[in-house]
Amino acid sequence: MPVHFRPGRRQKAWSGNVVAIGLSAGFLEPLESTSIHLIQTGIFRLIGLFPGHGFDKADIEEFNRQTLFEYEDIRDFIIAHYKVTNREDTPFWSYLKHMQVPDSLSQRLALFESSARFFQHGKAELFREESWVQVLIGQGIQAKADPMVDLIPAADAIAFLRDIEEVIADNC
Ligand SMILES: Cc1cc2nc3c(=O)[nH]c(=O)nc-3n(C[C@H](O)[C@H](O)[C@H](O)COP(=O)(O)OP(=O)(O)OC[C@H]3O[C@@H](n4cnc5c(N)ncnc54)[C@H](O)[C@@H]3O)c2cc1C
């Protein structure tokens, strides 16, 4: 049975004397289960910007800026799961493969495809480089190698990979 939901977020999580936290602030989707994390960060953000007497416009704007960044960052990560697909066997996957995505995501995908390079955009990003790279490679994105790779002697690269192999074997 399909479960219908309407994703989105408030334009302003903090407005006047009302602060929206959790589902009252927005909902993305359940794939990566980020709702409880967003509740926690919303509470911490409010504590960090807690008002004294009255409300300071600068505090409110900063709260809303950070909230916006966080939601859009998670949104991009979720969309990447669907956009980076090799499947075109159903109208659903075909649509997702060719759909328009936010500029922030298309820039990130273009950079990764052109040189396998990836950069974090800020400490507030929930999903770190490892998560992104695993999703992008796992979904089959064809990335050209970082040109710096040619500077690493093959013997060093093999020794490095053997170390990883040993660590994995020790922990299995
Ligand atoms: C089965 C399931 C599994 C989940 N798994 C995960 C997971 O693994 N990780 C994760 O991050 N998230 C998960 N979630 C999502 C997460 O649990 C919810 O997003 C989170 O609990 C929402 O908390 P909330 O306080 O924002 O909203 P709610 O828990 O919905 O609380 C809102 C409260 O406001 C009350 N209320 C509503 N309207 C009014 C009103 N007009 N006046 C007064 N009170 C009102 C409601 O009765 C309710 O008590 C899961 C959810 C479900 C259902």
Residue nearest to atom 15 of ligand 1 (CA): 35
Task: Identify residue 145 by its one-letter amino acid code.
Answer: A
Query: Is it the case that residue 31 has pLDDT exceeding 90?
Result: no
Q: What pLDDT is recorded for position 124?
A: 84
Q: What is the CATH number of domain 8-146?
A: 3.50.50.60
Task: Identify residue 128 by its one-letter amino acid code.
Answer: R
Largest CA distance in the chain: 64
**Distance from C-alpha of 80 to C-alpha of 102, rounded to nearest angstrom:** 10
Average pLDDT over residues 102-117: 96
Ligand 1 binding pocket includes 31 (Cβ within 6 Å): no
Average pLDDT taken over every residue of the chain: 94
Q: What pLDDT is recorded for position 3?
A: 86
Split at pLDDT 50, 70, 90, the class of 32 is confident
Percentage, residues of the chain above pLDDT 70: 100
Q: Which residues pair with 140 in a beta bridge?
A: none
Average pLDDT over residues 130-142: 93
**Distance from C-alpha of 29 to C-alpha of 6, rounded to nearest angstrom:** 9
Q: Please calculate the CA angle 67-7-48 and round it to the nearest 5 degrees.
A: 15
Q: What pLDDT is recorded for position 170?
A: 93
Other C-beta atoms closer than 10 Å to the C-beta of 87 total 13
> To which H or E segment does residue 141 belong?
none
- Per-domain boundaries in the chain: 8-146
Contact 128, 121 (CB under 8 A): no
Residue nearest to atom 25 of ligand 1 (CA): 22
Ligand 1 binding pocket includes 3 (Cβ within 6 Å): no
Q: What pLDDT is recorded for position 84?
A: 95
